[in-house]
Amino acid sequence: MNPIKTYDQLVKENESLLWQLEEATEIIHAIRTGQIDALVVKGNNGHELYTLKTADQTYRVFIEKMNEGAVTLNEEGIILYCNSMFASMVDLPLSKVIGLSFEKFISEDCQDAYKEIFRKGWSQDGKFEISISSHDSIIPCQLSVTTLQLDEGVSLSIIITDLTYQKEIQRLLKLNNERLEKTNFALEMSNHDLQQFASVASHDLQEPLRKILIFSGLLKSRHQNELPEESLQYLEKIIASSGRMKTMIIDILSYSGLSVNNNQFELTKLNEIVQEVQDDFELLIQEKKARFEIDELPEIEVNRGQIRQVFQNLIGNALKFCKLTEAPVIKIRCVKKNENPDETNCYISVSDNGIGFDEKYGEKIFSLFQRLNTKDKYEGSGIGLAITKKILDKHNGSITVTSKEGVGSEFIITLPFRRNTKSQSVD
């Protein structure tokens, strides 16, 4: 019969055991982190030296610091070693994981796949996706399998990467792609409706408007001397308003038509386009005694008809918004933004000496139906510069403006010399 120990004896024994436990914990930690590579152990035959292989030491240091789980298996699939991360993934203490079969942590639906992975892993490296079970949760993982030469012999090393975050990102991307497809479909339907509206506007709206203009013109020409002065003024307002409405319908059709992909791009001499626009405005140019100063402009790859409309809008505005006391001077020149010989864009300046405007409206003028002047004084729909901007956007170009009231305005057009189909904008 063992003698009964006193309280003080029990306390001392407890302190001794705690000290031994702390010492063992420190040694284990030192081994795991590579702080020691040999141990001297006292046994029945005296002290014996046990060394840790250098590769094993490096391996242990590495896997303890990584964010992935790591296990080492023997030929039976038993876990000889695992890092803290894997223990955390399966929500078990480290001491409970070592000695278990790794197969225990594979989800039921992946058991057959894991057996094939384990079989192949001894002869060839590989990466596989598989699910690990942790209590009631399933963790999607990637297994990186390779063999490793340790003191115990050849072992199977498996790095386990948690794919939960990546799978969630993939799910969100798939969801966003589905939403994007629905949005694109809605946009296509909207564009189709817009084209239908354009067709209606082209025929159904313009036909009655055409009759209003025709009969108003006949009424004015045939009965001008018979109508009272006040009635003639009303008639003039009807004709003027109908003319503005016709211009607005045509401009709306032009703007909506830009939503349709038109990939007819060709090398075009900008000087030829400017000359064509001058020919169109020949009578107005003569009437206003306008003078042009035009530099040698580059040859670039554009949609000829659309870029012609750009210059028609800019030159038309320069002629329209001129001063009553001064003949318009319109300058079109090629400007340099920098001295880079490999510059892929050209910069065209279109400036005038017209009435100008306050620069705080510099962005506003490129929006639909925006006017800085009354329609009674200056004709127009307020769509021309919006059309211009949209055309340049479709060309991967841009337009900016500087202006000063009473001095004039300068528009800078940026256009690529050559069409880059890969970066083609989509409307």
Per-residue pLDDT of 173-186, as tens digits, reads 888 889 988 888 88
pLDDT at 2 over 90: no
Count other C-beta atoms under 10 Å from residue 5's C-beta. Answer: 11
Q: Within 13 Å and on the Cβ side, how many CA atoms surround 250?
A: 12
Tokens of 129: 């996706």
Q: Using one digit for the tens of pLDDT, what is the confidence trace for 146-169?
A: 887 776 678 888 888 888 888 888
Q: Using one digit for the tens of pLDDT, what is the confidence trace for 260-278?
A: 556 678 898 999 989 988 9
Q: Within 13 Å and on the Cβ side, how many CA atoms surround 283?
A: 0
Contacts of 232 (CB under 8 A, 6+ apart): 220, 224
Percent of the chain exceeding pLDDT 90 equals 13
Evaluate whether 376 touches 241 at the Cβ level (below 8 Å): no
Q: Using one digit for the tens of pLDDT, what is the confidence trace for 282-318?
A: 888 999 999 999 999 999 998 888 888 899 889 988 9
DSSP, collapsed to helix, strand or coil, labels residue 304 as helix
Output the pLDDT for position 216: 86
Q: Within 13 Å and on the Cβ side, how many CA atoms surround 40?
A: 2
CATH numbers and ranges of domains, the chain: 18-51 (no CATH), 54-162 (3.30.450.20), 179-257 (1.10.287), 266-423 (3.30.565.10)
Angstrom distance (rounded) from CA 131 to CA 138: 6
Tell me the one-letter amino acid at 363: E
Alpha-carbon distance values, 198 to 202, 249, 389 (Å): 6, 9, 20
In the block, residue with structure tokens 């992909």: 261
Task: Say if strands 79-82 and 69-73 run parallel, antiparallel, or are unpaired.
Answer: antiparallel
Output the pLDDT for position 261: 57
Ordered DSSP codes for 188-219: HHHHHHHHHHHHHIIIIIHHHHHHHHHHHHHH
Output the pLDDT for position 211: 84
| 110 Cα distance to chain centroid | 37
DSSP-derived secondary structure letter, 92: S
Angstrom distance (rounded) from CA 338 to CA 343: 8
Question: Looking at per-residue confidence, does 45 or 394 come out higher?
Answer: 394
Output the pLDDT for position 349: 93
Burial of 340: CB neighbours in 10 Å, binned 0-12, 13-18, 19+:
exposed
Angstrom distance (rounded) from CA 321 to CA 379: 10
Evaluate whether 312 touches 350 at the Cβ level (below 8 Å): no
Mean pLDDT, all residues of the chain: 78
Output the pLDDT for position 378: 47
Angstrom distance (rounded) from CA 285 to CA 269: 22
Q: Using one digit for the tens of pLDDT, what is the confidence trace for 209-257?
A: 788 888 888 888 888 888 888 888 888 888 877 877 777 676 666 666 6
Task: Say if strands 299-302 and 137-150 run parallel, antiparallel, or are unpaired.
Answer: unpaired
Q: Using one digit for the tens of pLDDT, what is the confidence trace for 107-128?
A: 888 999 999 999 888 888 888 8
Angstrom distance (rounded) from CA 308 to CA 290: 20
Angle at CA 401, nearest 5°, toward 395 and 406? 150
pLDDT at 377 over 60: no
Helix residue spans in 160-303 (DSSP H): 164-200, 206-223, 229-257, 270-280, 282-288
Angle between the N-to-C axes of helices 229-257 and 206-223, in degrees from 0 to 180, rounded to the nearest 10? 150
Using left for φ > 0, alpha for ψ between -120 and 50, and beta otherwise, residue 135 falls in left
pLDDT at 141 over 50: yes
Q: Using one digit for the tens of pLDDT, what is the confidence trace for 64-75?
A: 667 788 888 988
